[in-house]
Amino acid sequence: MELPGFAVAVWMFVCLYASVVGYPNGKVGEACTSMVPCHGGSPHLSPEHAMTVNWTEFKPGDSIEVHLSGPDFEGFFIQARDAEHLDSPAVGSFALADRRRSQLLTCGRTKNSAVSHTSKAKKSDIKVYWIAPEDAPKHVQFLATVVKKYRIFWVKIPGPIVSQPDVLSPTPPLHATSEAMSTSHPVSYISKPFSASGCGIMKFCIRNPTNCDPGSASCFFLSFQREESSVFIEMSGPSEGYLAFAFSHDQWMGGDDAYLCVNVDHRIHVSTAHLKERSHPLLDSENALEDVSWRLADGLLQCSFRRRIRLPAFKGRFNLDASYYIFLADGEASEGGLMYKHRRQPLVTDGLYNVTGLPLDIGGSRAPRLIKAHGALMFVAWITTVSIGVIVARFFKPVWSHSFLLGKELWFQVHRMLMLTTVMLTSISFVLPFVYRGGWSHQAGFHPYLGCAVMALTIFQPLMAGFRPSRHAPRRQLFNWFHWSTGTTARILAVVTMFLGMDLPALDLPDPWDTYAMIGFVAWHVGTDVLLEIHSYCLVRKVEVIEDDRVQILQSLTSAEAEGRLFKQIVLTIYVCGNIIFLVAFLIAINQV
């Protein structure tokens, strides 16, 4: 029963190890099907390398010389496949021309069906020989993946097509089937920004912020307009790297139909892709888009294209007459078109929508509702209830010592009520991210670890309070010290955890406003604490301390503290109002992301 779990662990280790170190020795058997190196990036769009052959016709058993050349590169991976079914397994076998720089690999059940590098030493050309099998298809195309540097690579660069004698050329033409190629349709230039007129009337629109103008420098805009059997799509936003949107069956990345507009050397490449979990998009070998146009000006990236509602011939393309969640993301791209991971959470619609159905004008959210609730409850707990509860316990014992509620001193009942509210809010909030993620998040840095520590201290504090010794017991002083230190540690860790959580992609509050506001709250609380400490110290200085007479000292302190009742109540009122203002500001910010 434990073997499958062990196998999964080994598999995860191998994948993680491979993604870190790459394949400098060329043993790339794991990439036989996709031909994508485990380098953690996206392939570049415009290949710099090419393949040539010495013959374009073959018969079973023939040997064809294949030559790969171009600017210096470190790694390569060459296969031959059925030109009419490029997703099929490798065809035929290879023989080497230079064993020092190339080696044979076995993909699937075909021995020596691929060739790769032996080291990461730079090379500018590679020559190998392909041997046609007895059961060769009518048309065979050579494909190559080339790695220039660790993060700069091209996948499935299309090579020549060779055919058996007296066989017609394959249709449609397959010379532009590379996953690294962009759209091959004619591309035109957009003359002006998009317009939101017709949103909700003639076309389905998504805007962020809500009702923003697509021509403004802060508006993300995506529209769909049905035209008989096709849909015309417009996308724009403040990005100089890339914009992308995707249709999804759920609110998680993975198994999605994606569309990319990427800035490559100040030209926009528009392509389709498939999203596989949280990895980089896998560009499609064929592009189903028509009437592609783009514009890059004034910090805005715009692209538009037309797509048929149903594309049964294109694998991975969703039918547009169904309902989906819609993602809209932006990010940076290198000069060669390498897409970097988006730094903030994509905009996601709050429900399933059919873009060819009733025209709507909607917005979206960059933070899931459960994560918003998590942040809101934590802010209520650790900005409001804990802070006020600590101030009451620390400074209001003498002020409310003669007031009682339900048989207990008023200060104690208020303190206990606020602290139990904190425990309840923190416990509910703690569970929400696990419900949303379905488990532990490995993308959130130290935030979840510190959050677990805060949760543990939050539960431990009331449990410890349940064993509080009586007021005059010998261990009461030790209890007081532990109670104070545990609570103080929890508060400090909670503030640090909130600082870290505010900038996580799932709840990315506006920078630098969120940091300044949090610093302001900390300063507000510390300032109030210091003010009340100074006030208490000044009252104590007025007391005539009688040495070795503890009863007289306590009586004098109690009397002096009572004199400052009005001042403390005013400070507490102002402090509570200030905390509520900070809380409302954070809740408004959470609601707007």
CATH topology of domain 29-163: Immunoglobulin-like (2.60.40)
CA geometry: angle 543, 545, 549, nearest 5 deg: 135
What is the amino acid identity at position 522? V
What is the per-residue burial (b if ≥16 Cβ within 10 Å, else e) of 514-545?
beebbeebeebbeebbebbeebbeebeeebee
Question: Domain map of the chain by residue range?
Answer: 29-163, 188-362, 369-592
What is the amino acid identity at position 509? L
User: How many C-beta atoms surround the C-beta of residue 193 within 10 A?
Assistant: 18
| Stated pTM of the model | 0.56
pLDDT at 17 (0 to 100) = 41
pLDDT tens across the length of the chain (593 residues): 444 444 444 444 444 444 434 555 556 667 788 888 876 567 787 788 999 999 889 998 899 999 999 999 999 999 999 988 888 899 999 999 888 999 999 988 888 999 999 988 999 999 999 999 999 999 999 999 999 887 788 889 999 999 998 765 554 433 333 343 333 445 677 878 899 999 999 999 999 888 899 988 889 999 999 998 999 999 999 988 899 999 999 888 788 999 999 888 778 889 888 887 666 777 776 678 889 999 888 788 999 999 999 988 887 789 999 999 999 999 887 766 667 777 677 889 989 999 999 999 998 887 778 888 898 899 999 988 999 999 998 888 877 777 778 878 888 899 999 999 999 999 999 999 998 878 888 778 899 999 999 999 999 999 988 888 887 888 888 888 998 899 999 999 999 999 888 878 777 677 778 888 889 989 999 999 999 888 888 877 765 454 444 444 444 555 555 567 788 889 999 999 998 998 888 888 877 66
Distance between CA atoms of 113 and 44, rounded to whole angstroms?
25
- Cα 550 from chain centroid (whole Å): 61
Of the candidates 264, 490, 517, which has an alpha carbon nearest to the alpha carbon of residue 381?
Answer: 490
Task: Return the bridge partners of 540, or none.
Answer: none
CA geometry: angle 303, 304, 306, nearest 5 deg: 150
DSSP letter for each residue of 404-464: EETTEEHHHHHHHHHHHHHHHHHHHHHHHHHHHHTS--SSSTTHHHHHHHHHHHHHHHHHH
Distance between CA atoms of 145 and 155, rounded to whole angstroms?
4
**DSSP letter, residue 17:** H
Classify domain 369-592 by CATH architecture: Up-down Bundle (1.20)
CA geometry: angle 92, 79, 254, nearest 5 deg: 125
Taking the CA atoms of the chain, what radius of gyration do you get in angstroms? 33
Same fold, 188-362 and 369-592: no
Q: Please determine, looking at this structure, whether the domain spanning 188-362 carries the CATH number 2.60.40.
A: yes
**DSSP letter, residue 310:** -
**DSSP letter, residue 338:** P
